A and B are shown apart, each in its own frame.
Chain A
């Protein structure tokens, strides 16, 4: 049974840090159980891939908590409507429109870890549609790296509604963007619990999580390479990675890493990645170059 109804105005959302703050403010307004929420787009002029995946996840979170999420499609501007039809978002939420192939990469939601479905998305709908001019080797390198994100989200987030993603291709810039997020407990929470250091800053926990060999789920083997490999690949690819979890914010750009605490809070984890479709940069440097493996 629903107890309250709220109309949320979705603003224009690009993918700079203040845009994520706007998304997190929306999240902070739907944290009550059994809340019916209508998303209104009257003030929205543009939505990027991070907003699409976030709004989809937010709707599922509202439903999981016993509420109802509706999108007021009549308030969409034409450019946004086209995008949301094209990437399958509207079809996913009952609008019976789309998707079709364009520069949008479909919106997807995965309630549980589903290797075959995720790989079909990454290889087929994200990179394999012929409009990204990259070799199979680079495609496979990117897909393997992005899988590390999904693996990390499913293993650590304890997200009750799964993992959400959406992407965008920018052909003229030779860029691919992908946003993967969950509404779980967040990296700082896991690291604080594991380390029994409750006062450590969110930024410090992110820095720790991106170091090789760190994991909050030790299981008798060396683990914790996923985020480190992702980080190294982004550096080699000269791409960009941004991560938001609790107040923590991490950015890997132009080979540099920085981790800071910000003023807005989001309990889950958001990874926003930009890859260059450039064949020159995708081989990770190996630390051990000799023939011996072990």
Chain B
């Protein structure tokens, strides 16, 4: 199992640097592998925290929409339409989180395959970059959904 203390959040730039280092021999490979492991661990926490916050907002927005319809003596159909609008707005968020989860799984798989000699370090670092990108996209989509409240 990959357990690297999340001392810092690996940025996309750092992941790209890890890719650059990946062609520089055994020591550089170890640096790249460590970077990829940190990416896997820290991104997991970042996406997990963002997802939890997004779910809480998602629920709060729907409840507020329903309560507003009720306060205005609206119908059940109006309340259902209101929550459907909220759900449609948040759909891209769940897609982005799913994509980040898939990228995380791909990175973990790549690291295990590298350990078993089935993949080269360049594959691992590419997966790390993909995960860092997916994480940034997920966080950006969540911020966009929050801003559209």
A binds B: no
Spell out B's residues near A (CB within 8 Å).
Answer: none
Spell out A's residues near B (CB within 8 Å).
Answer: none
